[in-house]
Amino acid sequence: MGRPKTQTDRRLTLVAAAESMIAKRGLAGVTLRDVANEAGMSSSALLYYYPGLKDLLDDVQRKAVERFCTIRAASVAEIADPRLRLKTMIESGLPTDTDDQLCRLLLELGAYSRSDASYAARHITLFERQVSIYVGILEAGAATGIFKLRAASETIARSLVVLEDGLGLHLVNVVPAVDQPSAMAILTSYAELATGCSLR
């Protein structure tokens, strides 16, 4: 019974090592040898757990998507006021700074979605799960009369996630085009227009 736990632990170690290397070098600069060295094992030992770099990166993306969506859902789960829920949800979708490792990781891995169907499928899952959380917040706010939605809840939710993604790309650049407070203000302004409700 100890062996599966060891395998699981080793895979988690390798995923963490891959995340660390992506944060340091960007996705294009990561090799199996780099990840193995970061994890403190040989390349041949790594290949016992993952047949190749793509298999490892698949697992990295899968776990990153799950972690990000779980964090976002948890951040608003206990908040009753729709205004505060929406504001908190917006805050949870933006990188905190250029060193936000999880957001950078998702943005780096998202680039593969243009050429790899499995990455694209997980990227769609990431998008739709975030949209679903927003839809729940928007519809709850509309049901109580606090929000006066200017468009369908799904349209507003999709727009918010797309804005987050675009602003997030700028926020993690070496020289950001916008800073975090400005990005937050842009998203908040759109959310206020879309819901007919002040969030400040």
- pLDDT tens for residues 128-178? 999 999 999 999 999 999 999 999 999 999 999 999 999 998 998 878 889
CATH code for the domain of 167: 1.10.357.10
Range of the domain at 70: 59-195
CA dist 48 and 59 (Å) reads 15
- Give, rounded to a whole angstrom, the gap between the first and last alpha carbons of the chain: 54
Placement of tokens 């227009």 in the chain? 193
Residue owning tokens 């727009």: 159
Tell me, yes or no, whether 72 and 39 share the same domain: no
Between CA 163 and CA 94 the distance in angstroms is 10
Domain count, the chain: 2
pLDDT in tens, 46-71: 998 999 988 999 999 999 999 999 99
Structural tokens at position 8? 């699981």
* Statement to judge: residues 87 and 182 lie in one domain: yes
pLDDT in tens, 78-114: 999 999 999 999 999 999 877 788 988 898 887 778 8
Distance CA 171, CA 16 (A): 23
Q: pTM of the full predicted structure?
A: 0.89
Whether 110 and 34 map to the same domain: the answer is no
Instruction: Say if 85 falls within a structural domain.
Output: yes
Residue 2 lies in a domain: yes
Examine the domain organization and report whether 107 and 129 are in the same domain.
Answer: yes
Domain identity same for 38 and 132: no
